[in-house]
Each structure stands twice: as structure tokens, then as C-alpha cells.
Amino acid sequence: MTQLKRRTFLASASLMGLSPMSMAQASYPIKPIRYIIPVPAGGGADMIGRATCERLSKLLGQPIVIDNISGGGGAIACQTAARAQPDGYTLIQAYVATHGTSPATRKLPYDALKDFSAIGMIGTAPNVLCVNPNVPAKDIQSFIQYVRSQPGKLAYGSAGAGTLTHLVGELFKLQTNTFMIHIPYRGVAPANVDLMSGQTQALFPSLAGALPHIRSGRMRALAVTGKTRHELLKDIPTFEEVGLPGFDGEQWYGVMGPAGLPEPLVKQINEALNKILTQQDFKDKLSSEAVALKPMTPGHFQAFIKSDIERWTQVAKDRKIELDS
């Protein structure tokens, strides 16, 4: 908006009796928007955020500046976003760690629900049960029997205590009444290495990270999370298909703002985001991360987050998992 047009708009709005907040909402956005990504630059989550912002910027008509804030498992980024003015000029890419598993297992300096305004989902990606190729089980039912036949002798790795890869593993143990030793690593990369070398027997990584190893034969996939089979692994069943009803848990990514974000702004950003999710080139771009685009209303997204926290809180309670912040 040019300075002349802006002055004309403000003068007209003033004559109509609109408040400064109403005027700001009516002309949003008039300056660059800050988009916080709670992970370092590079990697899947960062790519998803940048691809989203590239298209969102075009629809909203203003630059969107990426701000990668890592540390504290996303807590620093979340605190920064929660403390920002609720004017639409600071957004954050929430994901399963910051607004799902961490609130279920740790004492955090932010409230994942009360301190944020849900705007919309970007998409979800499944986790996949992978085993070392030397494990004799060729399907999940035979794997369950294999684990039961060797209690305490098998181990599964994770990207770290309290991560989704950990909690999905504990959910598997709960629902199958089996026991495997949990080996937490500092990230999924070393967990991948030890699975492929046979130091551990199982892992529940994201499909995007596991897919190259599955295709090379260094890992064997047995089942995926989610409601339907994934198009990149059409021959691999879901956990529900093989007799584990309600077994879910996916990587997910969405957009949020500080608590108190005015409803008109939430609606405007949500509509722009959902328009992006219909674009075929965007779907093709995110397919490299095995992300299925899932447009949602703000209310639906808020309910999704609440449900995800409740699911993992119950798993953490049942398995007595409580971690320091």
C-alpha cells in the first residue's frame, strides 16, 4: 500500500469510527511478517516452513522473514512467539515436538494451548516401524511374536527420550503387551546407523528419513502410522490394518500465532494457507518429506493439538515417562 493510499485509507477509516486495531486488521498486512521455525536451518522442517512461506508471501502481498530459533527442544522459539504482539506479524511453525510430545513429557515455560492462537495445519507425515533386515519377522504379527519370544533381549532406538520416535515405541509396547529395551540417541541419524548395523532391532522413524534406507534394503518396513496407507509405501499396511485399532502418531506441522490474535486475522491467514494446500506444485514439493497436506479450520487445528497432547500424555503416564525441561 503506497503512503498516499494508506493516508487516504486511514482518514476514511477514522471518519467511519473504526478503532486503530480495526484499521490495522482491515489493512493487514502492511509490513513484513516474521515466521519462526523452531529448528536450525536445513532439514525437513525448515524446508517445509520455507516452502510454505514462499507461497504465503505471494498471497498476502508482503515478505515473510524466516527466523530459525533452535534450542531447548523448541522452547526458546515458542516463548519468543508467545510473547510477541498478537498483531499477525509474528507467526510460528508449530510441530509435533513443540505442541505434542514435549507438553506431554516435560515441564515447559509455555502452555502449548493457552499461549497460542491456532491458525491451521500444513500437513502430516507418518512414522514407520522399521527392523534390521536380519530380524526374521517379515510382517508385524510375526514381529510381535518374535519380541514376545525374547523378552528383554531386543532393543529399539529413538531420536531421544520424549521424542515422537520414543513415544510411538512405547505405544507399540503398550498395545502389543511386549517389551523391548529403549535406547535413546542424540537424534535419529545415530539411531539409524545402529539399527542398520544390528546394534538395535527396531526403530520408529519418520517415513521421510527412513525411505532411502527402506528402498536400499538396509531397513525393513513393517507398518506405518496414520489412517490410510501412504502413497510412497503402498505395500506396507497401517497399524490399524494389522489389528492395532487407534494406533496413531504422526509428524505434523502447522501455523500458530500468539494468544489473542484477532479472529479476522486468523481467518485471513487460515484462508491463504488453505489455498496454498490445494496447489499441486506445493503437494509435489512436500512429497519429498512424505507430508500429506491437510487443510483445517483454526478450530479443527486447535482440537487436533489438544487431542495429540492428550494421547501422548496418557502414554507418558502409563509408561511413567517424565522428563526435566
> Which CATH number belongs to the domain containing residue 56 in this structure?
3.40.190.150
- The angle at the Cα of 216, spanning 212 to 144, to the nearest 5 degrees, equals 90
Burial 95-113 (b: 16+ CB within 10 A, else e): bbbbbbbbbbbbebebebe
Q: Which of 223, 196, 154 is nearest to 146 (CA)?
A: 154
Same domain? For 204 and 185 the reply is yes
Same domain? For 22 and 121 the reply is yes
Same domain? For 203 and 135 the reply is yes
CB atoms within 10 A of CB 178: 18
Establish if 163 belongs to a structural domain: yes
Q: How far apart are CA 107 and CA 293, in angstroms?
A: 31
Establish if 2 belongs to a structural domain: no
Q: Which of 125, 121, 45 is nearest to 295 (CA)?
A: 121
Tally of domains in the chain: 2
Q: How far apart are CA 244 and CA 247, in angstroms?
A: 6
pLDDT of residue 53: 98
pLDDT tens-digit profile, the chain (325 residues): 444 444 444 444 444 554 545 555 679 999 999 999 999 999 999 999 999 999 999 999 999 999 999 999 999 999 999 999 999 999 999 999 999 999 999 999 999 999 999 999 999 999 999 999 999 999 999 999 999 999 889 999 999 999 999 999 999 999 999 999 999 999 999 999 999 999 999 999 999 999 999 999 999 999 999 989 999 999 999 999 999 988 988 999 999 999 999 999 999 999 999 999 999 999 999 988 999 999 999 999 999 999 999 999 999 999 999 887 4
CA–centroid distance for 225 within its chain: 14
313: its cell numbers: 500424555
132: its cell numbers: 534390521
On the question of a cis peptide bond just before residue 136, with omega within 30 degrees of 0, the verdict is no
Q: How far apart are CA 283 and CA 324, in angstroms?
A: 38
CB atoms within 10 A of CB 63: 11
Q: Can you give the C-alpha Rg of the chain in angstroms?
A: 22
Q: How far apart are CA 171 and CA 167, in angstroms?
A: 6
State the residue range of the domain holding 121: 18-125+250-318
Length in residues, the chain? 325
CATH code where residue 200 lies: 3.40.190.10
Same domain? For 24 and 108 the reply is yes
pLDDT of residue 30: 97
3-class state of residue 322 by DSSP: coil
Same domain? For 132 and 191 the reply is yes
3-class state of residue 118 by DSSP: strand
CA–centroid distance for 215 within its chain: 24
3-class state of residue 196 by DSSP: helix
Establish if 172 belongs to a structural domain: yes
| Phi, psi for residue 256 in degrees, rounded to 5 | -135, 165
pLDDT of residue 151: 87
- For the whole model, what pTM was predicted? 0.90
Cβ atoms of residues 118 and 188 within 8 Å: no
Q: How far apart are CA 63 and CA 34, in angstroms?
A: 9
CB neighbour class for 155 (10 Å; exposed up to 12, middle 13-18, buried from 19):
middle
Cβ atoms of residues 140 and 222 within 8 Å: yes
Q: Where are the alpha helices (DSSP H) in 181-262?
A: 188-197, 207-216
